[in-house]
């Protein structure tokens, strides 16, 4: 059991971020993570020898998060919170820059909520959780081509959803 | 005022790093607590004949898979002595690592060179002088012989075959207990297990342990410099590896898992 706890500690961060970006609710997300960790324990016998553990675990967590999102239905909101800038060393942003950055975070986070769920799941996995394309495909149970196309469409849609005061350059497909 | 940024992906990546996770809950502890609360689906071993007075749990493939996943995930960090020791402590199995390989020499398990023979009393004093204490399973009685030096700093204790200790192959030995103190100059012990070998994570007392059984496997020692020294001298019977305090124990026998764990649970300091 100690070994399993240690194993979970290794992947706790990505699992929590994944559940959070899928659910869009902090309380639901940690419930989903717990459920996922418990289900993974009982499902370890089905873990394919030699397979990568992280995507397998994250897939279970993602499924739990999606189940909770579906259960919550339309009444569920989608809200992510982001840490504010903290002064560190000599690199603390100016007050104006800090305000702008915080505004940008809130605005982009709110725009994420406006994405169609399939696109949002992919964009969030790829960019907020930091999974690569293959991991995202595995975690969400999608073909890699679907991940690629949804990521591209999601970023384009997200850019359209941003108000004009938030200008973001680049193609955003990388 | 408009604010420019070069790439939306970068902005999202920055957001990901700043995601605020709820601080009130530790999902790992909560999940482990839930698993423990409902028994964990863990099979309890049959009451062992050497009654250790404590239920011992195991779930074969479940924990085995966890252990393998751990090793896969950490393989890259098992190279240098520093990380190796850190990881080994983290794994809870002292200075032992287990890896799979298809390249186990045919000689594995065929010979045994346990180091320099020495009186048991001398081995006890030698360990005391080095700052650790030799121990042996009380249920097995006093060890018949002691050997030192393989691996460096370690002590091998042997017992003769008996009714409760079947001979390991044709070695003339019923039980071999290798004790490796967690000193920096003692090197480490790795098990090169061919596919087909059964590796389970079990428990000896409160400590995690590996149970390795099946096909002969090679023991790989690492010296003080972290260099790997293949050592096909072990008997390669069924093996139980665990750590208690600062000492890593490797118990090799012809016993089955339950009996080996029960025997290990009677470990007592020798004096």
* Complex ipTM: 0.83
For the segment A91-96, the average pLDDT, to the nearest whole number, is: 67
pLDDT for the residue B75: 32
Whether residue B141 has pLDDT greater than 80: yes
For the segment B195-208, the average pLDDT, to the nearest whole number, is: 67
Q: How many CB pairs under 8 A join A and B?
A: 173
Tell me the pLDDT band of B138, cut-offs 50, 70 and 90. very high
> How close is the nearest chain B Cα to the Cα of A74, in Å?
23
> How close is the nearest chain B Cα to the Cα of A5, in Å?
7
Between residues A25 and A63, which one has the greater pLDDT? Answer: A63
Cβ atoms of residues B212 and B197 within 8 Å: yes
For the segment B10-17, the average pLDDT, to the nearest whole number, is: 85
Whether residue A86 has pLDDT greater than 70: no
Q: Minimum mean pLDDT among A5-14, B72-81, B234-243: which range?
A: B72-81
pLDDT for the residue B78: 30
Side by side, the strands of the sheet bearing B96-101 are: B96-101, B188-194, B218-222, B228-231
Sign of the alpha-carbon dihedral angle for B211, B94, B134, B202 = negative
B31 touches chain A (CB under 8 A): yes
Say which of B9, B41, B67 has its CB closest to residue A155: B9
B40 touches chain A (CB under 8 A): yes
For the segment A112-123, the average pLDDT, to the nearest whole number, is: 93
Q: Among residues of chain B, what percentage have pLDDT more than 90?
A: 14
Cα distance between residue A118 and residue A136, in whole Å: 12
In the stretch 57-116 of chain A, residues with CB closer than 8 A to chain B read: 80-83, 100, 104-105, 108-109
Integer angstrom CA distances of residue A90 from A83, A93, A100: 19, 9, 19
For the segment B254-271, the average pLDDT, to the nearest whole number, is: 91
3-class SS shares of chain A: helix, strand, coil, % to 5: 70, 0, 30
Tell me the pLDDT band of B192, cut-offs 50, 70 and 90. very low
Q: Among residues of chain B, what percentage have pLDDT more than 70?
A: 51
Cα distance between residue B68 and residue B212, in whole Å: 12
Between residues B174 and B248, which one has the greater pLDDT? Answer: B174
A169 touches chain B (CB under 8 A): yes
- The pLDDT tens digits of the residues spanning A52-63 come to 678 888 999 999
Mean pLDDT (chain B, rounded): 64
pLDDT for the residue B216: 52
CA-nearest residue of chain A to B60? A45
Tell me the pLDDT band of B228, cut-offs 50, 70 and 90. very low
Contacts of B35 in chain A (CB under 8 A): 1, 38, 41
A34 touches chain B (CB under 8 A): yes
pLDDT for the residue B41: 45
Say which of B19, B42, B201 has its CB closest to residue A82: B19
For the segment A71-80, the average pLDDT, to the nearest whole number, is: 75
Taking CB atoms and an 8 Å limit, are B92 and A3 in contact across chains? Answer: yes
CA-nearest residue of chain A to B202? A1
Whether residue A171 has pLDDT greater than 60: no
For the segment B145-171, the average pLDDT, to the nearest whole number, is: 84
pLDDT for the residue A48: 59
Whether residue B153 has pLDDT greater than 50: yes
DSSP 3-state of B181: strand
Q: What are the structure tokens assigned to B130, written together?
A: 């080095």
Say which of B27, B61, B68 has its CB closest to residue A16: B27
Q: Minimum mean pLDDT among A112-126, A138-152, B32-46, B102-116: which range?
A: B102-116
Cα distance between residue A120 and residue B19, in whole Å: 16
> How close is the nearest chain A Cα to the Cα of B226, in Å?
25
For the segment B209-237, the average pLDDT, to the nearest whole number, is: 53
Between residues B46 and A41, which one has the greater pLDDT? Answer: A41
pLDDT for the residue B154: 82
A140 touches chain B (CB under 8 A): no
């Amino acid at each position: 059991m100690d070994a399993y706890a240690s194993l979970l500690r290794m992947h706790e961060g990505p699992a929590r971020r994944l559940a959070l970006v899928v659910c869009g609710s902090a309380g639901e997300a940690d419930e989903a993570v717990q459920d996922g960790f418990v289900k993974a324990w009982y499902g370890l016998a089905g873990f394919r020898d030699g397979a990568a553990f992280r995507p397998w675990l994250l897939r279970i967590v993602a499924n739990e998060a999606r189940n909770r999102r579906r259960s919550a239905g339309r009444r569920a909101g989608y809200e992510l919170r982001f840490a504010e800038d903290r002064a560190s060393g000599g690199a603390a942003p100016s007050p104006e820059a800090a305000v702008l950055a915080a505004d940008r975070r809130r605005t982009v986070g709110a725009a994420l909520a406006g994405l169609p769920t399939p696109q949002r799941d992919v964009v969030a996995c790829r960019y907020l959780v930091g999974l690569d394309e293959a991991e995202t495909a595995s975690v969400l149970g999608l073909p890699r081509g679907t991940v690629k196309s949804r990521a591209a469409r999601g970023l384009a849609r997200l850019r359209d959803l941003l108000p004009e005061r938030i200008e973001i350059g680049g193609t955003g497909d990388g | 005022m408009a604010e420019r940024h070069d790439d939306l992906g970068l902005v999202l990546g920055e957001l990901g790093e700043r995601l605020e996770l709820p601080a009130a809950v530790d999902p790992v502890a909560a999940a482990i607590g839930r698993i423990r609360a409902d028994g964990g689906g863990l099979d309890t071993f049959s009451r062992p004949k050497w009654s250790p007075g404590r239920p011992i749990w195991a779930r074969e493939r479940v924990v085995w898979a966890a252990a393998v996943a751990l090793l896969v995930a950490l393989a890259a960090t098992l190279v240098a002595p520093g990380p190796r020791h850190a990881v080994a402590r983290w794994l809870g199995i002292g200075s032992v690592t287990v890896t799979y390989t298809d390249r186990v020499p045919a000689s594995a398990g065929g010979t045994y060179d346990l180091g320099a023979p020495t009186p048991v009393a001398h081995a006890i004093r030698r360990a005391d002088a080095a700052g650790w204490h030799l121990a042996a399973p009380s249920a097995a009685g006093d060890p018949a012989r002691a050997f030192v030096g393989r691996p460096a700093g370690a002590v091998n204790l042997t017992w003769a075959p008996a009714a409760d200790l079947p001979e390991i192959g044709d070695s003339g030995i019923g039980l071999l207990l290798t004790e490796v103190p967690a000193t920096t100059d003692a090197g480490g012990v790795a098990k090169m297990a061919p596919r087909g070998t059964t590796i389970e994570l079990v428990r000896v007392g409160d400590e995690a342990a590996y149970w390795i059984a099946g096909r002969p496997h090679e023991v790989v020692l690492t010296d003080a410099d972290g260099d790997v020294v293949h050592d096909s001298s072990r008997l390669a019977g069924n093996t139980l590896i665990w750590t208690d305090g600062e000492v890593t124990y490797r118990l090799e026998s012809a016993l089955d898992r339950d009996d080996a764990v029960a025997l290990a649970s009677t470990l007592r300091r020798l004096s």
